[in-house]
Amino acid sequence: MIRLLDTLKEEQRRLCLHGPAGARLLSGYQAYAGRPFALFWVQTDKTGCTTALICLLDENFTLCCSPDADGEELAAFLSALGAQRVFCEKPAGLALGLYPMETGTALRLDRLMPPSAVPCSLDAAPGEIYEILAASAGPGLSPPDRTAFHADLSHRLRHGAALAATALWEGKPAACAVACTAAATAYISGVATLPACRGRGLGAAALSALCRDLGPRDIWALALPQTLHFYEKLGFVPSGTAGWYTPRKP
């Protein structure tokens, strides 16, 4: 059975501690639970145990489920809601018969690297973060809407649902790392360096500083083939596949 989630229980939080999808979902709940534009559902089995959690935020779905989840029910539910993009781990995507859109290697931080000598800041303004991300967008990629990005990151920072770090070059922010956070877990949602400042270890310094600020949380990331080595050098280890899936066959 699937129903709207009233209050997140400890059993349900534990379900979300094993991958990037759960970290995203918990962060979204911490930031926006109770807001009319953020919806959360729970699937339970016949005994009342939670088997899946779903979040709808900004027209994007995030799905976290156990191996016992009813994939057919979840697939029908998402189809009824017109879901086009679902962030989940590969086993969940397979269980629901979804097709991969933008997926990569899920990674978990296994060890912290020694602190970098690069100066870093943990109190950068959302506007500074946006400028770095926008300038770093690759060919064919559009930066997020500035107003929406600023509002979302500012809100998450105020409500303990995000942390960010910047690395400085000649006294100015030149690289950034951002994480969606919850009490016990976090997901690295972005790492970027200004094109003119690349090759100096600034992105690695920003991410290292962010991971230290995240403390004892389980920290997750998602890497494309070209960024996998970057994360592995910083102490992340592969832990499956995750990313965006769709019910539409490519």
The yes-or-no answer to whether 2-103 and 112-234 have a common fold is: yes
Q: For residue 31, give both structure tokens.
A: 């930031």
Segment (H or E) for 204 = helix 202-214
Domain boundaries, the chain: 2-103, 112-234
CATH number for the segment(s) 112-234: 3.40.630.30
In this predicted structure, the answer to whether residue 36 has a pLDDT above a threshold of 90 is: yes
In this predicted structure, the answer to whether residue 24 has a pLDDT above a threshold of 70 is: yes
Q: For residue 250, give both structure tokens.
A: 């490519």
In this predicted structure, the answer to whether residue 135 has a pLDDT above a threshold of 80 is: yes
Residue 79 · residue 2 · CB < 8 Å: no
Residue 60 · residue 102 · CB < 8 Å: no
Q: State the Cα–Cα distance between residues 72 and 67, nearest whole angstrom.
A: 13
Confidence of residue 96 (pLDDT cuts 50, 70, 90): very high
Confidence of residue 18 (pLDDT cuts 50, 70, 90): very high
Q: What is the mean pLDDT of residues 81-87?
A: 97
pLDDT at residue number 138: 73
Q: Is this model's pTM higher than 0.75 or not?
A: yes
Whose structure tokens read 């809601």? Answer: 81
**pLDDT digit string (tens) for 201-247?**
999 999 999 999 999 999 999 999 999 999 999 999 999 999 999 99
Q: What is the mean pLDDT of the chain?
A: 96
In this predicted structure, the answer to whether residue 5 has a pLDDT above a threshold of 70 is: yes
Pick the CATH number of 2-103 from 1.20.1070, 3.40.630, 3.30.70, 1.10.287: 3.40.630
E strand intervals along the chain: 2-4, 39-44, 50-57, 60-65, 86-89, 99-109, 120-121, 162-169, 172-181, 185-193, 218-223, 236-246
